[in-house]
Structure 1
Amino acid sequence: MGAHANAIQTYIRAKDENRPHLLAGAFAHDASLQMKVETENISFPPASKGIEAITRVLVRDFGRAYENIYTFCLDNYPRDGEAEFRCRWLVGMSDKETKSIRVGCGHYDWQFGSSELIQNLTITIKTMLILSSDHHRQVMNWLSHLPYPWCPAEAAAAAMPPLSELSEIHQFLMQNCA
């Protein structure tokens, strides 16, 4: 695994584990973040510029609202030397206040700078489902047993609990599967 994959893994670890200090090892100081939110079940500022603003949005604010966060990249590692990388993602988490479960999916579009760090990230949130806290054990058991953070979409779909509420996520996972 190369520098680009390490930067992505560092971002995921910082966000999922609420470790803001790690983002300096993932993003360039002057990096930018764009959010394309295609659901009403979660909100983010549409754009952030600079490592401090990105850290506030992706780690500090996010970590205040959510816990038990698992984020997965559903495609192969990026190859070093490529300036751009796109991958699908899956995320699951619980809401600290309501105890509801959220499961979402979308795309990451990464651009890397000459330092091998992330220069620009566009996060597209296609779906964000809200499930009752009654599903906490099933969903967290599923997510906690998947390969982390690089997980084949087929593996995530195959291990998914049989909850009708997750059908939209299952369809997303099965896109482009042979």
Structure 2
Amino acid sequence: MSIASASSPTTASVMRNYLHAKDENRPFFMTRAFASDASLKMTLRTAAIAFPPHAHGREAITETLVRTFGQTYENVYTFYLDHPGEQALLEDYACDWFVAMNEKASGRVRIGCGRYDWTFQREPHLATSLVITIETMLDLPADTGPSVFGWITTLPYPWTDAERVVQTAPPIEAMAPVMQWLRRGHVTDPVGSTA
């Protein structure tokens, strides 16, 4: 593992810039996250959300993950469930993620989880490839919004851990599939936990 100087991009800053772009609908941050010829692959293990399976080049990735996505969703909070280290310059990094957002048109809440598999180039340190696996994506009624966003906004953003997500989740039964996926290998449940 290499160590970055204070002013140069790190794996963590590249990952953070990606969320500045996607979650905050700021496309210009994609130049601070992806190389111009980067590739995106989407693996969907749910039919509850649709994305093109591939995008090639930073502009195509930006169109898919920022502009088109931002037309449909708002109040997007994506959490990385592992941290690469503040000064790390990694060639490959994989971590689980968790997201909450709502649909602009209906107000319905979406909660999902999955995995990011990143590949980075050395100089400048930017992503050359991202594989996004969406394991589960839930569609919840709009009236769950206050509980969900009240909870989400108490979590450290954008890095948190699965245990904190699960242990602080509101008791909404429909969220169980996501909570179960997050628990696998990450969380030791107290006796009687129902979330």
Same fold (TM over 0.5): yes
Please name the residue that 2:94 is paired with.
86
1:42-97 residue CA offsets vs partner (Å, 9 max, x unmatched)? 00010001110000000000000000000000112257343111100000100011
**Residue type matched to 2:109 in 1?**
I
The Cα shift of 1:16 comes to 0.5
Tell me if 1:45 matches 2:55: no
Please report the RMSD computed on the Cα atoms of aligned residues, expressed in angstroms: 1.4
After TM superposition, give the deviation of residue 116 of structure 1 in Å.
1.2
Highest Rg: 1 or 2?
Answer: 2
SS in 1 for 2:59: helix
Aligned equivalent of 2:37, options 25, 30, 48: 30
Q: How does 1:118-133 map to 2 (within 5 A)?
A: 118-133=127-142
Alpha-carbon distance in 1 for matches of 2:154, 2:182 = 16
Which runs of 5 or more residues in structure 1 are unaligned?
A: none
Q: CA deviation at 1:142?
A: 1.0
Work out whether 1:104 is the aligned partner of 2:107: no
- Counterpart for residue 192 of structure 2: none
1:175 matches 2:149 = no
What SS does structure 1 have at the residue aligned with 2:185? coil
* C-alpha distance in 2 between matches for 1:112 and 1:46: 20
1:166 aligns with 2:175: yes
Question: Which runs of 5 or more residues in structure 2 are unaligned?
Answer: 5-9, 189-195
Q: How many residues align?
A: 178
Q: Distance in 2 between matches of 1:138 and 1:127?
A: 20
Q: Which amino acid aligns with 1:101?
A: V
Question: 2:63 aligned with 1:56, yes or no?
Answer: yes
Query: Could you tell me whether the CA contact under 8 Å between 2:40 and 2:54 is conserved in 1?
Result: yes
- Look up the match of 2:27: 20
The two structures have a TM-score, normalised by structure 2, of: 0.88
Deviation at 1:152, TM superposition (A): 1.0
The letter of the residue matching 1:104 is G
Task: Calculate the TM-score normalised by the size of structure 1.
Answer: 0.96
- Which stretches of structure 1, 4 residues or longer, exceed 6 Å deviation after superposition? none
Matched, 1:95 2:103: yes
Task: Return the alpha-carbon distance in structure 2 between the equivalents of residues 72 and 13 of structure 1.
Answer: 12
SS state at 1:130 partner: strand
Q: Return 1-10 or 14-23, whichever deviates more.
A: 1-10
Q: CA deviation at 1:8?
A: 0.4
Q: Which one-letter code corresponds to 1:100 in the other structure? A: R
- Percent identity of paired positions between Structure 1 and Structure 2: 43
